[in-house]
């Protein structure tokens, strides 16, 4: 089984991704997790409620999610992005089913209402942040769908034990999912050719990173990449054999990733 | 098995509906179909793209759906409304799963791109209307979910055989679903106490209507009610034994409906 985590950047080649998935699943079961950052940002701007990115004291960036931000999140991720991707796969004969972490408690998360952020050099505490960390995966539901020939197309948000919808980091949730489903290969597709030595130079892709080396790259990584590296580290520690960071913009993003393009963590 | 079709009006008591469903499904399997008209209209207004309702030459009103309207539809129905309802049920311990007609080809529709409408007394033809009529239901998927203890929470849009997302009438789709699943009882919940003799007077609820009488009410019915009556007629002709029109605003909408409140068509 293979888990594809496709980012939410506007540049991803979804035609290529859908085509690759249609071929790949002839060989082995596939689960797809997707983002929708670009769609969310566009919608938020149209509604006059810009996405508010905050940075934690340890330098990890995330989105502050109040009630209105969560509604926009739902519309962009569960509404627009998820159904477009499902339809794209359906058009290629793949029996795709789109679900969020809320559906059937697919991703149950522990709420973390308190959010410490660094603003203007000072650490502040925001309460009532509607996010959570995925701790439980409904493995039975996924197995039932896979056994019946369906391809799960998943995205945040998640749900708390009390049934509250909470935003959650898709990358982290993907890793928890991979561990729960005992998935051996996880491919992260985004708008870069892999982990870069120099973010300004696409030709500086680092082809292989051993598990114990990831820590050395963490201090230099910024923003989303820091989160992805932490996710890769966690994945390898949880039983995943191989994590691949690869370019989601090529003609065949998944084929290229599996052929050794991008960065392989193992 | 029972099918609940809850309208998309802002006045529906979703707490009561969720509570009733949690109790009802102890006795028999439930499928829920929901609308989201009010949410859709609010979002469309915020985005500056008002919902465009048109009337056919036979007097049936529907929404003209171009690409932008379909996107708003997806965000309101699949994104916001569906996940909120699912979370509400999850909070009550119901293993709800939200799906649109696109997911797993749940509702496959024949496209009807040409739309004849009456405007200013003249009949006009609009092309590229992104709607369709549901003709095929993925019964296997629904049975699989029900057998595994899940409660399907469904809404439009549907999908064509080619994988194109199309808007579809939720009421009509519900009837096609009921027939395919051999469901005997269908409850329509909306913002009125049932079928009224005089729409201005809530106390004029017609308690019972025989199948062969429905035709006599059709000419007087207006807008959405005309569509609902046609759906009720079609349902009874397709093997449904009982269709109930009832008030979705009471403390226990479904309990009340099953206790004989509203209008029973049989």
Q: Do A98 and B96 touch (CB under 8 A)?
A: no
So what's the pLDDT on residue A190?
97
User: Looking at beta carbons, which pairs linking B119-128 to residues 24 or more positions away fall under 8 Å?
Assistant: B119/B54, B123/B57, B126/B54, B126/B64, B128/B66
* Cα–Cα dist A195/A202, whole Å: 9
Q: Is A250:A262 a contact under the CB 8 Å cutoff?
A: no
Peptide linkage before A157 cis (omega within 30 of 0) = yes
- The alpha carbon of B241 is separated from its chain's Cα centroid by a whole number of angstroms, namely 18
Interface check for B148 against chain A (CB to CB < 8 A): the answer is: yes
The pLDDT mean for chain B works out to 95
> pLDDT band at B105, cuts 50/70/90?
very high
Mean pLDDT for B181-190 is 98
pLDDT digits (tens, 9 = 90+) for B138-152: 999 999 999 999 999
For residue A261, which phi and psi values (nearest 5 degrees)? -70, 160
Q: Do B99 and A104 touch (CB under 8 A)?
A: no
- Please, what are the domains in chain B? 2-265 (3.40.1160.10)
Question: Smallest CA–CA separation between A63 and chain B, in Å?
Answer: 19
* Cα–Cα dist B45/A67, whole Å: 19
Interface check for B46 against chain A (CB to CB < 8 A): the answer is: yes
pLDDT in tens, chain A (266 residues): 999 999 999 999 999 999 999 999 999 999 999 999 999 999 999 999 988 888 888 877 788 899 999 999 999 999 999 999 999 999 999 999 999 999 999 999 999 888 889 988 899 998 889 999 999 999 999 999 999 999 999 999 999 999 999 999 999 999 999 999 999 999 999 999 999 998 889 999 999 999 999 999 988 887 788 889 999 999 999 999 999 999 999 999 999 999 999 999 99
Interface check for B212 against chain A (CB to CB < 8 A): the answer is: no
* Cα–Cα dist A106/A128, whole Å: 23
- The alpha carbon of A2 is separated from its chain's Cα centroid by a whole number of angstroms, namely 14
Read off the tokens for A79: 């509404």
Q: Is the pLDDT of residue B229 over 80?
A: yes
* Cα–Cα dist A84/A18, whole Å: 11
Which DSSP string do the residues of B84-125 spell out, in sequence order? HHHHHHHHTT--EEEEESSGGGSEEEEE---EEEEETTEEEE
So what's the pLDDT on residue A63?
83
So what's the pLDDT on residue B115?
87
Length reported for chain A: 266
pLDDT digits (tens, 9 = 90+) for B233-255: 999 999 999 999 999 999 999 99
Percent of chain B with pLDDT over 70: 100
Peptide linkage before A184 cis (omega within 30 of 0) = no
Question: Taking CB atoms and an 8 Å cutoff, what residues of chain B touch A144?
Answer: 144, 148
Read off the tokens for B178: 């009921």
So what's the pLDDT on residue B26?
94
Q: Which of A94, A163, A164 to mutate to test the interface with B (most CBs of B within 10 A)?
A: A163
Mean pLDDT for B154-178 is 97
Give the ipTM.
0.95
pTM: 0.96
Q: Do A165 and B77 touch (CB under 8 A)?
A: no
* Cα–Cα dist B187/B197, whole Å: 20
So what's the pLDDT on residue B161?
97
So what's the pLDDT on residue B48?
95
Interface check for B117 against chain A (CB to CB < 8 A): the answer is: no
Interface check for B163 against chain A (CB to CB < 8 A): the answer is: yes
* Cα–Cα dist B47/A43, whole Å: 9
So what's the pLDDT on residue A191?
96
pLDDT digits (tens, 9 = 90+) for B38-88: 999 999 999 999 888 888 888 777 888 999 999 999 999 999 999 999 999
Q: Is the pLDDT of residue B222 over 80?
A: no
Q: Do B163 and A71 touch (CB under 8 A)?
A: no
Q: What angle do CA A172, B154, B144 make, to 5 degrees?
A: 80
So what's the pLDDT on residue A31?
98
So what's the pLDDT on residue B175?
97
What SS3 state is found at B29?
coil
What SS3 state is found at B213?
helix
Q: Is the pLDDT of residue B102 over 90?
A: yes
- Which of A105, A220, A85, A218 lies closest to A158, judged by CA? A105
């Amino acid at each position: 089984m293979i888990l594809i985590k496709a980012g939410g950047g506007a540049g991803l080649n979804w035609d290529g991704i859908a085509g690759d998935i249609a071929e790949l699943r002839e060989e082995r079961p596939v689960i797809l997790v997707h983002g929708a950052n670009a769609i969310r940002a566009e919608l938020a701007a149209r509604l006059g409620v810009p996405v508010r990115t905050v940075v934690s004291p340890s330098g990890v960036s995330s989105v502050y999610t109040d009630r209105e931000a969560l509604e926009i999140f739902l519309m962009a991720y569960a509404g627009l992005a998820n159904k477009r991707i499902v339809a794209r796969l359906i058009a290629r004969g793949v029996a795709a089913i789109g679900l969020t972490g809320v559906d059937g408690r697919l991703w149950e998360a522990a709420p973390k209402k308190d959010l410490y952020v660094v603003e203007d050099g000072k650490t502040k505490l925001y309460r009532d942040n509607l996010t959570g960390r995925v701790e439980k995966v409904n493995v039975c539901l996924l197995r039932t769908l896979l056994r019946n020939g369906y391809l799960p197309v998943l995205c945040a948000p998640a749900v708390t034990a009390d049934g509250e919808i909470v935003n959650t980091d898709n990358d982290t949730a993907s890793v928890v999912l991979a561990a729960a489903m005992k998935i051996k290969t996880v491919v992260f597709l985004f708008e870069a050719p892999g982990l870069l030595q120099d973010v300004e130079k696409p030709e500086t892709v680092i082809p292989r990173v051993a598990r114990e080396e990831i820590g050395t790259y963490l201090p230099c990584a910024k923003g989303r990449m820091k989160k992805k590296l932490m996710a890769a580290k966690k994945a390898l520690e949880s039983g995943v054999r191989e994590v691949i960071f690869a370019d989601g913009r090529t003609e065949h993003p998944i084929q290229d990733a599996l052929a050794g393009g991008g960065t392989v963590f193992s």
